[in-house]
Amino acid sequence: MGKKSRLKAKLKKQATLQIFAAPPKIAAAVDRICAEDRDWFALNPGVDSRVRPAAPDEFWPMFDSRDVEYVLVHQVTPGQRLRGPVLRRQRSKAENVQ
């Protein structure tokens, strides 16, 4: 197995472990959020994208909840959606000085 293949296998294994590593409370919250998105698109059949406020820990462990302000949800087909975080804008040191 070449170096590239080993790296691919390692990354796949890490991604799989992350999926199953979510604490039950977070996994239940994400399931609820996904169900709410599914219901929203069912009630709005002509719309394929929306932006909504982010829920706490929705993108755990990739992002801290305080860093994600909104979520862009795109329905690829009915029953298949993609979610992407919209991060809060971080102020530079110059902007923080008043």
The reported pLDDT for the residue numbered 85 is 96
23: cis peptide before it, omega within 30°?
no
- Phi first, then psi, for residue 56 (nearest 5°) are -55, 135
- Overall pTM > 0.85: no
* Interval 14-69: pLDDT, tens: 655 445 568 889 989 999 999 999 999 999 999 999 999 999 999 988 888 899 99
Which pair of tokens denotes residue 55?
Answer: 């829920």
- Phi first, then psi, for residue 61 (nearest 5°) are -95, 10
* Interval 58-96: pLDDT, tens: 998 888 889 999 999 999 999 999 999 999 987 666 655
Quick check: 37 and 83 in contact, CB under 8 A? Answer: yes
